[in-house]
Structure 1
């Protein structure tokens, strides 16, 4: 049966409660920390060796589509009515608007150390201790908007710039590609600092705290953010029906990207699936 992912701003009070309870239960069972570790393990950058799957590669979108489905399956084992909501950061742009409310994800971190002290995922509530990460911190941290060096969330115009590109991705299939929908949405740009962070990447920087780096899954907003990114991919697919995931074939032996990116019909680690098999989600879920 096809289920629906809803806009977080339109969840009922009961839907918020059920989502939060399911998240906390997945965390209590130890499954959530496995998701954090999986993302860390597959966060391979351009400058590293080996296959890139989760980021800086064409498979950024199908990898996270499957990742979302894995989390959603875990949530639905707890409560079959729960789905992952999405955060439309082109519309809900304030530090106290959705999803930063006490009945959903809680608010910003306090000024002194960025520790989140409100909502169900606050360390003091006793249900959300960080156990897997790149630092030793045990509490969830946020720095919404970066008070000391402010940045803004991406706009609808920024998103449209990505959606308008009819080609999914282009060589060299990494963070340096200047054209193609995938990197325009993932958001690796030229230069350094805030001007180089676009769309998906800029949102991670805007949230700050735990959302910086490979352990960003420790902040539950990761899933709401990536559900919206997945929705944008779905919109791009509807707009450009004649275009598909690229590359269709693996880069040739001896070329710089040989063995570093996943082609359309190759397996996408750590799962026994291909980008081709993940392009059509309509038999599993839809967006409201």
Structure 2
């Protein structure tokens, strides 16, 4: 049966409570930390040898679509009414707006160490100890808006800049490509500082703390952010129906990207699924 992913700002009090309860149960069972480990494992960059699937590659979008589905399946085993809501950061732009409320994700980190001290995912509540990551901190951290070096969330016009590009992706299929929807949405730019981060990437930087780096899954907002990224991909697909995932065929032996990117009908590690099989989510979920 097809279920619905809702805008997080429209959730009822009961829907918020059930989502939080399911997330905490998946964490308690130890399943959540497996998701963190998987994301860290596949957090590879252009300069590293071998296949890139999750980032800096055409498969950024289908990889995270499948990753979201896996988390959602775990949540729905706990409570079949739960789905991952999406956070539209072009509209809900304040550090005190949804989803940064005490009944959902909690607020910003405190000034001294960026520790989140409010909401159900605060370390003091005893239900959200970080066990996987690149630091020794056991508590969730955030630095919404980056107090010392402020940045803004992407705007609707910046998102539209990505959406209006009819090309899905282009050679060299990495973080340096300047045309195509995928990297304009993923957000690898040129230069330094805020100018080098667009859309998806800048949101990670705006949240800060645990959301910066491979262990970003430690912050539950990761899923709401990526649900919105997934929705944006869906909108792009509807707008440009004649365009599809690229590359359609894998780069040949003469290419610097040989065996480094996933083509449309190749398997997408760590799953036994192809990008083509993930292009249509209509039989699984829809967006409200």
TM range (shorter): over 0.9
Q: Provide the rounded CA distance (Å) in 2 between the counterparts of 1:49 and 1:136.
A: 28
Match of 1:47 in 2: 47
Deviations 1:90-123 (A, max 9, x none): 0000000000000000000000000000000000
Match of 1:18 in 2: 18
| 1:254 positional shift | 2.7
Match of 1:207 in 2: 207
Match of 2:256 in 1: 256
Deviations 1:151-187 (A, max 9, x none): 0000000000000000000000000000000000000
Number of aligned residue pairs: give it: 288
| 1:193 positional shift | 1.3
Q: Give TM-score, length-normalised by structure 2.
A: 1.00
Q: Provide the rounded CA distance (Å) in 2 between the counterparts of 1:33 and 1:247.
A: 32
Name the SS of the counterpart of 1:18 in structure 2: helix
* 1:6-155 correspondence runs (5 A): 6-155=6-155
Q: Provide the rounded CA distance (Å) in 1 between the counterparts of 2:265 and 2:55.
A: 18
Q: Provide the rounded CA distance (Å) in 2 between the counterparts of 1:24 and 1:268.
A: 29
Name the SS of the counterpart of 1:119 in structure 2: coil
Match of 2:186 in 1: 186
| 1:32 positional shift | 0.1
4+ long deviations beyond 4 Å:
none
Name the SS of the counterpart of 1:154 in structure 2: coil
Deviations 1:184-218 (A, max 9, x none): 00000011211100000000000000000000000
Q: Provide the rounded CA distance (Å) in 2 between the counterparts of 1:190 and 1:148.
A: 22
Q: CA RMSD in A?
A: 0.4
Match of 2:244 in 1: 244
Name the SS of the counterpart of 2:101 in structure 1: coil
Name the SS of the counterpart of 2:71 in structure 1: helix
Q: Give TM-score, length-normalised by structure 1.
A: 1.00
| 1:255 positional shift | 1.2
Q: Provide the rounded CA distance (Å) in 1 between the counterparts of 2:96 and 2:236.
A: 30
Q: Provide the rounded CA distance (Å) in 2 between the counterparts of 1:47 and 1:279.
A: 28
Deviations 1:214-263 (A, max 9, x none): 00000000000000000000000000000000000000013100010000
Q: Provide the rounded CA distance (Å) in 1 between the counterparts of 2:261 and 2:125.
A: 42
Name the SS of the counterpart of 2:258 in structure 1: coil
Q: Provide the rounded CA distance (Å) in 1 between the counterparts of 2:103 and 2:222.
A: 17
Name the SS of the counterpart of 1:4 in structure 2: strand
Q: Give unpaired runs (5+ residues) of structure 2.
A: none
